[in-house]
Amino acid sequence: MEENNNQEPELDLNHLMVVRREKLAKLQEEGKDPFKIINFNVTHDSKQIKDNFEELENKDVTIAGRIMAKRIMGKASFCHIQDEEGKIQSYISINELGEESYKQFKEDDIGDIIGITGFVFKTKTGEISIHAKEVTLLSKSLRPLPEKFHGLKDTDLRYRQRYVDLIMNPEVRETFKKRTAIVSEIRRILDAKGYMEAETPILNTIPGGANARPFITHHNSLDLDMYLRIATELYLKRLIVGGFNKVYEIGRIFRNEGMDIKHNPEFTTIELYEAYTDLEGMMNITEELIVECAKKVAGTTKLTYQGEEIDLTPPFRRVTMIDAIKEVTGIDFSNITTDEEAQKVAKELHVELDPIKISRGDIIAQIFDEKVEETLRQPTFLYEYPIEISPLAKKDPEDPTMTQRFELFIAGREYANAFSELNDPIDQYERFSKQVEAREAGDEEANMMDTDFVTALEYGMPPTGGMGMGIDRLVMLLTDSASIRDVLLFPTMKPLSE
């Protein structure tokens, strides 16, 4: 059966919508208003019927879904209806339905939602189908479906009208099913390891836990400006202080920053913290989460992402930031100890520096971002980060200018960020103070002073490992999606002008 048969003629959209409204009005006049139907008893979906044909053959089933194609052949017709699990064909005949019901079915439009009760059989061509005994119109589609939505180049329209995208493109529905499976797998693994899932505030008086520009809102009852959270870190570490040894949170984060194929102003992260472990422990659990999610939704650890072969087979490569820079540029920052020397190297490498970030540590980070990050194609834990860009991580015992921090890179993108968490309240206060100075100098992404968090540390926090990972980027990787908007059901969009 060809699925483009019996499509509506190329007429003006407004005319087609008028025709459909006239059909609805006629139904309402006849007392057959589909919008007055309260419920419908569905017994099976399309996948269950196809997967269990031998058991269900010649037995009655009731399904419901959207008409995606129709072929009228006089006294008998075929249609394909689509439910959450896919499409299935139905055979509709005047002999089985009766003249009045069959006439009504012929008036139903592509896009209408119907219920079908009938017995399961195979056509002469071997297609599993339903021989309809009863057809019920459950909802009238007043706007025609687009004929060429599949493969539409106007991705803006697909993101704005995700509901149509989901109707027309099965692979899009599959992506979001996989997203749900990934989140469920992360929860399963952490719950099995004894982690407790927590919920922390979205509205914060101080935007802490990351270097990012926040969204600002206003609390009317308190007459107080507040910030949408940029991370869940500082509240989760308060829970470690309070005596919970393993905690995590999966939730929305908000950062008032740029938008591109890797960034959306609101996104989802998993942050987890475990007492009495360190950076090594965080590397191990990060690796496990990614590997197990890959197995769950892709069935393998060897993937193709945007045409590039990616091997997630553990263990992932581990390299320091200074060694990674040396590999790409030939510059060894372990031999460069002053800000002036670092500035000279940046100039030689043609790296344009942020004018308020010109210390050795800041320059190391900027050179890495510009020259090295894109080269890290296979899974790589990059560790030992400059203290200037890691205000919440412990100093490296062997080099106090660096911290026990790692980021995971795959296909030239960051996927996770982790620390041996700073638990020295005196050091933490000093780090916050330097961040305040940077903020006053114009760095809008620098941390504010969080005296309550310092107070919490003063009560004592055990040695702790912490990790944060972007769920959206992980879904992109495991579903071979080019843009973050492809894995967000409703990405942030600028409103269309009236």
Over residues 135-162, mean pLDDT = 83
Q: Cα–Cα distances in Å, from 187 out to 304, 378, 414, 479?
A: 25, 25, 21, 19
Over residues 149-158, mean pLDDT = 68
Its sign, for the CA torsion 200, 205, 208, 213, is positive
The rounded distance, in Å, linking the Cα atoms of 183 and 282 is 18
Q: Residue 39 — φ and ψ, nearest 5°? A: -150, 175
Same domain, 121 and 209: no
Same domain, 123 and 207: no
Same domain, 24 and 139: yes
Same domain, 398 and 270: yes
Over residues 207-235, mean pLDDT = 94
The rounded distance, in Å, linking the Cα atoms of 431 and 427 is 6
In a domain, 371, yes or no: no
E-strand stretches of 183-334: 196-197, 203-204, 216-219, 224-228, 246-254, 266-275, 302-305, 308-311, 317-320
In a domain, 343, yes or no: no
Same domain, 389 and 477: yes
Over residues 457-476, mean pLDDT = 98
CATH of the domain at 137: 2.40.50.140
- Residue 188 pLDDT > 90, yes or no? yes
Other C-beta atoms lying within 10 Å of the C-beta of residue 208: 24
Same domain, 410 and 274: yes
- Nearest CA to 206 out of 188, 233, 186, 167 is that of 233
- Residue 155 pLDDT > 90, yes or no? no
In a domain, 154, yes or no: no
Same domain, 185 and 135: no
Which tens digit of pLDDT belongs to each residue from 38-77?
999 999 999 999 999 999 999 999 999 999 999 999 899 9
Torsion of CA 85, 88, 94, 96, to 10 degrees: -70
In a domain, 323, yes or no: no
Amino acid of residue 419 = F
Same domain, 392 and 461: yes
Q: How confident is the model at residue 147 (pLDDT cuts 50, 70, 90)?
A: confident
- Nearest CA to 386 out of 434, 330, 453 is that of 434
Same domain, 213 and 119: no
Over residues 375-402, mean pLDDT = 94
Residues 109, 23 contacting (CB under 8 angstroms) = yes
Amino acid of residue 243 = G
In a domain, 359, yes or no: no
CATH of the domain at 232: 3.30.930.10
Which tens digit of pLDDT belongs to each residue from 290-329?
999 999 999 999 999 999 999 999 999 999 999 999 999 9
Other C-beta atoms lying within 10 Å of the C-beta of residue 125: 8
The SS3 assignment for 492 reads coil
In a domain, 427, yes or no: yes
Over residues 254-280, mean pLDDT = 95
In a domain, 397, yes or no: yes
Q: What is the 3-state secondary structure (H, E, C) of 343-404?
A: HHHHHHCCCCCCCCCCCHHHHHHHHHHHHHHHHCCCCEEEEEEEHHHCCCECEECCEEEEEE
Which tens digit of pLDDT belongs to each residue from 477-491?
999 999 999 999 999
Same domain, 272 and 408: yes
Domain that holds residue 438: 167-316+378-487
pLDDT (0 to 100) of residue 6: 44
pLDDT (0 to 100) of residue 376: 98
Q: How confident is the model at residue 7 (pLDDT cuts 50, 70, 90)?
A: very low
- Residue 3 pLDDT > 90, yes or no? no
The percentage of residues in the chain with a pLDDT greater than 70, rounded to a whole number, is 96
Count up the domains in the chain and report the number.
Answer: 2
The SS3 assignment for 318 reads strand
- Residue 152 pLDDT > 70, yes or no? no
pLDDT (0 to 100) of residue 146: 87
Same domain, 257 and 404: yes
Which tens digit of pLDDT belongs to each residue from 345-373?
999 999 999 998 999 999 999 999 999 99
The rounded distance, in Å, linking the Cα atoms of 385 and 401 is 9
pLDDT (0 to 100) of residue 157: 86
Over residues 330-357, mean pLDDT = 95
The SS3 assignment for 237 reads helix
Residues 218, 270 contacting (CB under 8 angstroms) = no
Which of 437-445's residues contact partners 24+ apart within 8 Å by CB, and which partners?
438/356, 441/356, 442/356, 443/356, 443/357, 444/213, 445/211, 445/212, 445/213
In a domain, 493, yes or no: no
Same domain, 182 and 265: yes
pLDDT (0 to 100) of residue 148: 64
Which tens digit of pLDDT belongs to each residue from 401-421?
999 999 999 999 999 999 999
- Residue 4 pLDDT > 80, yes or no? no
Mean pLDDT across the chain: 94
pLDDT (0 to 100) of residue 451: 95
Domain boundary (79, 110, 145) is at 145
- Residue 2 pLDDT > 90, yes or no? no
Domain boundary (110, 145, 180) is at 145
Q: How confident is the model at residue 442 (pLDDT cuts 50, 70, 90)?
A: confident
